[in-house]
Amino acid sequence: MDKRQNAIASPFDFSNVFAMLIIETADGKRLIRPIGGEWENGINDSIESIATEYPNCKMGIFERRFDGGRKYFAPNGIGRAQLI
């Protein structure tokens, strides 16, 4: 099976987003809930809100790491000015 390589378009501004909740609802829908920027900043509050809104969902979190820019982007030719 071939893996997808394309990007998916998003209408959202991810400036100042420092984490993303990945949610799979009990009925199989998949959602992303950014944390930071134009969204509320509280990770625990966001998790509690999603758990209330989507009972029995599954969640994962992706956080921005301090060294993420150096570790992943710099070796691939991406400069600091290109980081969100």
Structural tokens at position 6: 């394309």
Confidence of residue 32 (pLDDT cuts 50, 70, 90): very high
Q: What is the pLDDT of residues 42-78, one digit of tens each?
A: 889 999 999 999 999 999 998 876 666 666 667 777 7
**pTM for this predicted structure:** 0.73
Strand order from edge to edge, sheet including 58-63: 30-36, 17-24, 58-63
Predicted pLDDT at 69: 62
